[in-house]
Structure 1
Amino acid sequence: MSMRINKELPSPAELKREYPLSDKLKELKNRRDAEIRDIFTGKSDKFVVIIGPCSADNEDSVCEYVNRLAGVNEKVKDKLVLIPRIYTNKPRTTGEGYKGMLHQPDPDKAPDLYAGILAIRKMHIRAMEETGLTAADEMLYPENRSYLDDILSYEAIGARSVENQQHRLTASGMDIPVGMKNPTSGDLSVMLNSVVAAQMGHRFIYRATDVTTSGNELAHVILRGGVDKYGKCIPNYHYEECARLYELYQKKDLKNPAAIIDANHSNSDKKYKEQIRIVSEVLHTRRYNPDLKKLIKGVMVESYLVEGRQNICANMVYGQSITDPCIGWEDTEKLIYKIAEEC
């Protein structure tokens, strides 16, 4: 056989019994979810900043980052809602490379998915307990989200997954905001079709059960730039692109029109310092056009303790990305304060 079973994994219910959320953390998540929901439904004019490492690769450095973020959050919470990126699954274009903590809780050791599902739940809970912030993650594998569905306050569906039927249908059963990224081609219609699908109710098979969903009215788009047939990055955060997105939204019968602008990936051509300038341009777009101010609810930024990136090796730099390059903490702090001033 070309597939073999390595180990039977615990069910989400079993893992939640072993590592449960306390009543205090459940109340915290309910408060955070309500605050974030109000932004996407237009009841609140606060601005969302989804920020953190490209991939969560080390519990201690990730939690240190989120602790620092919590300190900044206290100073800007009247204007911003900071959502830390704790991304535990990493999509790989060719299938090669580090696939995230779910696969490899220790990046320089062999994959261990049993240890991985324990590690990611423990890390998310620790971050909540220490900081009072609930996080965002990417729904790379729909069948795995049940291990964290009582913890997360935001989920993203990536450029390589946004056309997948199971991702769209699973998103329709979520009660938190889910952002649909445009595909790597940059096609906005594909992204918007995903939002249409996620906002509808469906009946399908999920984790060997027959389920029915009611639709997710908080499903929205994330602009992350595209790549043409020659491999050249084509950004889509500029004013004209945002205005075009607004026009396309008007033609769709969708609830709570909303967009998040991803300042990295193909928008920055992975030139991580460009994120600072891109966020500034997005803020200018919002100030200039009231319709776009209502549409653009936030930005997504890749940031870590130490700027840049590194390869996996014996002597890795603590708090530096091992996947895409990120801005460092000093730039992160300045950027968040700048966003708060200009919103």
Structure 2
Amino acid sequence: MNSSVSALPLSTRNCANETLTQRLPSSLELKQQLPLSPALSQQVAAHRQAVRAILNGEDSRLLVVVGPCSIHDPQSALEYASNLASLAAEVSDELLLVMRAYVEKPRTTVGWKGLAYDPRLDGSDDMAGGLTLSRELMREMLRLGLPIATELLQPMAAGYFDDLLSWVAIGARTTESQIHREMASGLGMPVGFKNGTDGGVGIACDAMRSAAHPHRHFGVDSQGHPAVIQTPGNPDTHLVLRGGHRGPNYDRQSVAQIRHDLQKLKIPARIMVDCSHANSGKDPLRQPAVFDEVLEQRLQGDSSLVGVMLESHLFEGCQPLSPTLRYGVSVTDGCLGWDATEQLLRKAARQLRNARQNIPASA
């Protein structure tokens, strides 16, 4: 057995493993550097209210969170956002399109953690630059008129973006985290909790019940100081189904059982289906089939299905990080291409429009 590490003098090991720190600007400083105009702040408030209205059944449109698995290239992300903004205006009578602007990525072991962590994609981890770039990029997307969605992975990073967001995801691996539940209870926008990686919804149900309550917890204030944070509780949480190790959970039988479980716990039955991950067997080209099945359930009267999520980029598939990257192709999970995404969303809007007008599906 190789014992060279344990044989090192203790002082040498401590020196070699010394933890280094680098100060970041506070969230307040970055917000002051890159502020939102009053008009954009009002736009965000209106978008949040539109999402709430869908969750509460006051707006019959379908909520669609759509965009790249992760953003790694600002230019291609803005081109995608421009395309989405144009489409959003055309289908706004039936669909509320929300731009998926994910700048943090959870890693099972190690790997690229997202634009906010490593904006140059080279392991230099310029997090100050990443936070600035991420905020600039989201602000440009807002100027296109789009609502913005992201997954909040690191609670300390949330304050750099929270004023820009209309919808937030808490991922399958963090839904169980008390820290994320406390954070969600203080967010001023709707939050979707994903089911656990095993496919069960019990953990997400616990998370929604926890986030609905006020909390006092340790945290950091807007000036970067340690603080006791008091939250009011978030009434606008909902469940996101993403499948699990045992397979998909968007089929009629699964949704009916989950709806029953939510009602038994007196949790509002408002469900979004993530068309990717285990629900598509990690095949991005299967996302339209998942979407179509969810839409069919809605058309047959299941009002608990309030939304869907799609991973989509300019071009389909994915690619590993390398010095020569293909433009508009994901560097994390595989995505549906824009042409297929546009076709899918136009078809969905047409089907919903026809159903509202009692036009036969074959028309």
Please classify the TM superposition score into its range, dividing by the shorter chain length: over 0.9
Check if 1:22 corresponds to 2:31.
Answer: no
- Tell me the distance in 2 between the aligned counterparts of 1:340 and 1:200: 36
Ranges in structure 1 where 5+ consecutive residues have no aligned partner? 229-233
User: What do the CA deviations read for 1:22-50 (whole angstroms, capped 9, x no partner)?
Assistant: 11211211221121111111111111010
Deviation of 1:140 (Å): 0.5
What residue identity is the alignment partner of 1:310? Answer: Q
Give the TM-score, by structure 1 length. Answer: 0.94
* Match 1:337 to one of 340, 346, 354: 346
2:160 pairs with 1:142: no
Question: What does residue range 129-208 of structure 1 map to in structure 2 within 5 Å?
Answer: 129=143, 131-207=144-220, 208=226
Secondary structure at the aligned position of 2:159 is classed as helix
Q: Which amino acid aligns with 1:111?
A: D
The equivalent residue for 1:243 is 256
Q: Percent identity?
A: 36
- Asked if 2 retains the 8 angstrom alpha-carbon contact of 1:56 and 1:88, the reply is yes
SS at structure 2 position matched to 1:243? helix
Query: 2:97 matched to which residue of 1?
Result: 82
Query: Alignment partner of 1:285: what SS?
Result: helix
Within the candidate set 275, 278, 285, 2:290 is matched to 278
Determine the C-alpha separation between the residues in 2 that align with 1:278 and 1:159.
Answer: 19
> Contact (CA 8 Å) 2:97, 2:147: kept in 1 or not?
no
Between 310-319 and 104-113, report the one with greater CA deviation.
104-113
1:4 equivalenced with 2:22 (yes/no): no
**What number of residue pairs does the alignment pair up?**
332
Q: Max radius of gyration: which structure?
A: 2
Give per-residue Cα distances to partners, 1:172-199, cap 9 Å, x unaligned: 1112110000111112111111111111
> Could you tell me the TM-score, scaled by structure 2's length?
0.89
Measured in 2, the distance between the counterparts of 1:297 and 1:49 equals 9
RMSD: 1.2
Which residue does 2:113 correspond to in 1? 99
Deviations 1:2-37 (A, max 9, x none): 452331001111110111011121121122112111
User: Runs in 1 of length 4+ with deviation above 2 angstroms?
Assistant: 1-6
Within 1, Cα distance between the matches of 2:123 and 2:158?
Answer: 24
**In structure 2, how many angstroms separate the alpha carbons of the residues matched to 1:3 and 1:21?**
39
1:296-335 deviation per Cα after TM superposition (whole angstroms, max 9, x unaligned): 1110000000100011112211110000000101101001
1:128 aligns with 2:160: no
Letter in 2 for 1:115: G
Aligned partners of 2:227 and 2:210: how far apart in 1? 20
Partner of 1:231: none
**1:43 correspondence with 2:50:** no
Contact 2:155–2:183 under 8 Å retained in 1: yes
Question: In 2 relative to 1, CA 199–31 (structure 1 residues): closer, same or farther, beyond 3 Å?
Answer: same
